[in-house]
Structure 1
Amino acid sequence: MDPDEVESCKDGFFQHLAQTVPGRKELVVTEARGCTIKSADGRLFLDFISGIAVANVGHSHPKVVQAVQDQMARYAHVNVYGRFALPPQVEIASRLTRVAPGGLNTAYLTSTGTEAIEGSLKLARKYTGRKGFVAFERGFHGRTLGSLSISWKAQYREPFEPLLENVDFVPFGDLDAAGEVVNHDTAAVIVEPIQGEGGVRVPNDDFLPGLRQICTDRGALLIADEVQGAMGRAGKWFSFELWDIVPDIVVLAKALGGGLPLGAFLATGEIFSTFLDPPLSHLTTFGGNPVSCAAAVAAFDIIEGEDLLAASEEKGAELKRRLETTMAQFPEYISDVRGQGLWLAIDLPPDLTMPIVKEMERRGVIVGSMLNSDGTVRIAPPLVVAEAELDVFIGVLRASLLAVRSGKL
């Protein structure tokens, strides 16, 4: 695209698409391959947020592209939750339930993560006959009314109230606080096993097992929100596996679709049977779209066939070590490094976060901030990231911090 076309695209985006963030967009994207994004003016950028935890197998992986083309040639859409059995749906559901532990043998396919969260809340209420929910501070579960009701930040909830009633928020990692509010009216406790927008916060080893026991003892369901954490991001198919527990319902999306919109929630057949009474208790038009399912099957097979779970764990450990070395070199700026697998974060002074994010972008690396953790920078490259790309990232981060130290930012 020539400069006039680039500016025209930015103008058109600003004029014709609803804006939820002020200002014109800084980049027009024309291509994305692997870990690299190309802008309309020919610049290349390393994507170290994976489209926000979506591109786990990289952008436009050839096997995903081929699967999408093949399925599109067959059919793009029929009645996805009606009278027909669709092979792509069966294939991805079979794969997910094969790797899910503890009898989570049934999947409901959706279009997005927030839609899957909504379905999980309905399922929990329908199955238990209870109304209340317990969620956690810094937690984020989506923007629709139900998912917003269980998302912590009041800034996003209050303009849309009244939302769901009987929602209690307790500190993440605090078992005593959770034990005080889970009661006979609690349909479910919903938790991100590792908090995403809360700053990639990993709980202590007692928290998830203890929460599982509280729910079991009091008849509430445990919902694991794995929208960001599933599909190898933390080195496992599901991040809750790190603590050897089994939730009652698991929600996933983002990386599931291999770059196309697809979500799901998993549970046992017994729990899902409540959606049969009355029939059509839950329904979707596009959830489990065959093209998205074909992309998901290809992405799943890439993760499994290329052993990207182990790659996430090994590369993540190396990247974390190098971030900790960088923290030691710049202690006045980096106050913490944390995370699991290729799901990492660093804490900076809040007033420096966006200047450093923008400086890194200027130098060719895309990182991002967090919704519910001021001063936190998101670092989550595709699981196929190469060692040389990790080198570039660390170099750009250090150069950006040096620019701050020298007064250039």
Structure 2
Amino acid sequence: MTITTSEDYRDRFVERLSQNMPGRKDFQVASASGCTLTDDEGRTYLDMTSGIGVANVGHCHPRVVAAVQEQVARYAHVNVYGRFVVPEQVEMVDRLVAAAGPGFDMAYLLSTGAEANECALKLARKVTGRPKFVAMERAYHGRSFGALSVSWREEWRTPFEPLLPEVEFVPFDDLAAAAAAIDDRTAAVIVEPIQGEGGIRVPSDGFLPGLRSLCDDAGALLIADEVQGGMGRSGRWFAHQHWDVRPDIVTCAKATGGGLPLAAVLARAELFATFVDPPLSHLTTMGGNPVACAAGIAAYDVIVDEGLLDNATEVGAYLRDELSTMMTDFPGLLVDVRGKGLWCALEVSVDANPLVTRMQELGVLTGSVLNQSGTVRIMPPLVITRSEVDVFLEALRTTLGEIA
């Protein structure tokens, strides 16, 4: 019998899977549970990334695993739109609209965040009949054509142009610039209530309410991209809820499926009615897959039953307090700490990637962000404990000491 080794898999991974970064991978994942990953050599890592915000209830939560096993034994996939009632979709959307609150009574289920943002852009254009979108500097909404068009980083847009016309970028948290850009040609403003890939940037308290007023005055829609911020990451179901703002459209993905691909666009039924005129104006084959919905239902219920919104708030405050204290020990190196809930950024005065690499060597997985070179992303599963946070803090202190 041929024995496949870790080295074999690493070689084949590079040879067979299209790469967007050069080099071989650092280790091979063998298993994951709670807040830890284990590699094929038995070494464990504290996961402070949640798979980039996906594993909000932790890896392989028993209730999610049981829900997936039960569902896949009944049926894994059917025609998800147009012919049958899929009960798991109904249960999932009931939970999503409950989390979103008044003003949201319907959802369109998809698979990824980019798909959700594509759907939202199409919906806004069709409802308003307008051509223009306003987006934020340092924004990231995905890599498909429409989502890429409203994503800020020029070096990733330019090779694929022409993209959507009439997209105007304004500085995040700058109402005056937004007011100058939003006009009677604007279909929608798309904004991350807390910027993710822009560096976990939290706006001033007046920004989102001000955007809401500007959109109302211009007859434009407000799209809140909650792909990273949704499902409790900031200590609320959705980040925009910290400012008591009601967008017209909300997109979510990542943690929505409890570890499986599931995304949603939330809006009022009167907006979604445009997708029926003509019928089938928007379609998906895999969106709202029953197994993903079963996982998402279980994950939502875990967040409620285990009080994970409160845990995100309380443990997140402890994490930021400890990091703020650490700033005094490394002046000029650790220059800022910001975030809400268990969504946190460390700003360092050097490139973040060597720090991330060294933390991994110490058994802690962190990450950088796409649009800010000095930012370290901290977004652990919402089930994390203070003692696990202390493990992270000890590894960070060691790493900062070595750099300093």
**Which category of TM-score, normalised to the shorter sequence, fits these structures?**
over 0.9
Q: Distance in 1 between matches of 2:223 and 2:198?
A: 17
Alignment of 1:103 with 2:81, yes or no, is: no
Deviations 1:120-166 (A, max 9, x none): 00000010111110000000000001000000000110011000000
Report the alpha carbon displacement of residue 331 of structure 1 after superposing the two structures with TM: 1.2
Q: Distance in 2 between matches of 1:14 and 1:292?
A: 29
TM, length-normalised to structure 1: 0.97
**What's the secondary structure of 1:329's corresponding residue?**
coil
Instruction: Return the letter of the residue paired with 1:391.
Output: D
Aligned partner of 1:392 in structure 2 is 391
Aligned partner of 1:306 in structure 2 is 306
Q: How many residue pairs align between the two structures? A: 403
Q: Distance in 1 between matches of 2:137 and 2:355?
A: 27
Q: Distance in 2 between matches of 1:102 and 1:62?
A: 32
Residues 401, 4 of structure 1: CA spacing in aligned structure 2 closer, same or farther, 3 A cutoff? farther
The 5-angstrom pairing of residues 258-269 of structure 1 reads 258-269=258-269
Instruction: Return the letter of the residue paired with 2:121.
Output: L
**What's the secondary structure of 1:350's corresponding residue?**
coil
Report the alpha carbon displacement of residue 349 of structure 1 after superposing the two structures with TM: 2.2
Aligned partner of 1:187 in structure 2 is 187
Alignment of 1:255 with 2:255, yes or no, is: yes
- Backbone CA RMSD of aligned residues: 1.1
The 5-angstrom pairing of residues 4-403 of structure 1 reads 5-351=5-351, 353-403=352-402
Contact 1:3-1:41 at 8 Å conserved across structures? no
Contact 2:369-2:376 at 8 Å conserved across structures? yes
Q: Distance in 2 between matches of 1:100 and 1:62?
A: 26
**What's the secondary structure of 2:179's corresponding residue?**
helix
Q: Distance in 2 between matches of 1:176 and 1:102?
A: 29
Q: Distance in 1 between matches of 2:173 and 2:152?
A: 15
Instruction: Return the letter of the residue paired with 1:403.
Output: E
Contact 1:57-1:299 at 8 Å conserved across structures? yes
**What's the secondary structure of 2:275's corresponding residue?**
helix
Report the alpha carbon displacement of residue 403 of structure 1 after superposing the two structures with TM: 1.6
Report the alpha carbon displacement of residue 332 of structure 1 after superposing the two structures with TM: 2.6
Report the alpha carbon displacement of residue 354 of structure 1 after superposing the two structures with TM: 1.5
Deviations 1:171-209 (A, max 9, x none): 000001000111111100000000000000000000000
Report the alpha carbon displacement of residue 364 of structure 1 after superposing the two structures with TM: 0.3
**What's the secondary structure of 1:265's corresponding residue?**
strand
Contact 1:35-1:382 at 8 Å conserved across structures? yes
Report the alpha carbon displacement of residue 386 of structure 1 after superposing the two structures with TM: 1.4
Dislocated runs of 4+, deviation >2 Å: none
**What's the secondary structure of 2:224's corresponding residue?**
strand
Report the alpha carbon displacement of residue 350 of structure 1 after superposing the two structures with TM: 3.1
Report the alpha carbon displacement of residue 16 of structure 1 after superposing the two structures with TM: 0.2
**What's the secondary structure of 2:147's corresponding residue?**
helix
Contact 2:89-2:293 at 8 Å conserved across structures? yes
Deviations 1:102-124 (A, max 9, x none): 32110000010100000000000
Q: Distance in 1 between matches of 2:150 and 2:102?
A: 26
- Percent of aligned pairs sharing the same letter: 58
**What's the secondary structure of 2:325's corresponding residue?**
helix
Contact 1:316-1:341 at 8 Å conserved across structures? yes
Report the alpha carbon displacement of residue 335 of structure 1 after superposing the two structures with TM: 0.5
Residues 53, 3 of structure 1: CA spacing in aligned structure 2 closer, same or farther, 3 A cutoff? farther
Report the alpha carbon displacement of residue 392 of structure 1 after superposing the two structures with TM: 0.3
Instruction: Return the letter of the residue paired with 1:10.
Output: R
Deviations 1:57-89 (A, max 9, x none): 000000000000000000000000021010100
Q: Distance in 2 between matches of 1:70 and 1:113?
A: 26
* Unaligned segments of structure 2, at least 5 residues: none
* Unaligned segments of structure 1, at least 5 residues: none
Q: Distance in 2 between matches of 1:276 and 1:402?
A: 60
Report the alpha carbon displacement of residue 3 of structure 1 after superposing the two structures with TM: 10
Q: Distance in 1 between matches of 2:350 and 2:393?
A: 20
**What's the secondary structure of 1:335's corresponding residue?**
strand
Residues 388, 3 of structure 1: CA spacing in aligned structure 2 closer, same or farther, 3 A cutoff? farther
**What's the secondary structure of 1:296's corresponding residue?**
helix
Contact 2:333-2:350 at 8 Å conserved across structures? no
Contact 1:137-1:152 at 8 Å conserved across structures? yes
Contact 1:133-1:168 at 8 Å conserved across structures? yes
Contact 2:343-2:378 at 8 Å conserved across structures? yes
Q: Distance in 1 between matches of 2:211 and 2:240?
A: 12
Residues 4, 290 of structure 1: CA spacing in aligned structure 2 closer, same or farther, 3 A cutoff? closer
Report the alpha carbon displacement of residue 41 of structure 1 after superposing the two structures with TM: 1.1
**What's the secondary structure of 1:55's corresponding residue?**
coil
Q: Distance in 2 between matches of 1:244 and 1:332?
A: 36
Instruction: Return the letter of the residue paired with 2:361.
Output: R
Instruction: Return the letter of the residue paired with 1:225.
Output: D
**What's the secondary structure of 1:83's corresponding residue?**
coil
Q: Distance in 2 between matches of 1:182 and 1:254?
A: 29
Q: Distance in 2 between matches of 1:8 and 1:44?
A: 21
Q: Distance in 2 between matches of 1:348 and 1:242?
A: 27
**What's the secondary structure of 2:334's corresponding residue?**
coil
Deviations 1:304-328 (A, max 9, x none): 1111111101110000000111111
Q: Distance in 2 between matches of 1:402 and 1:186?
A: 49
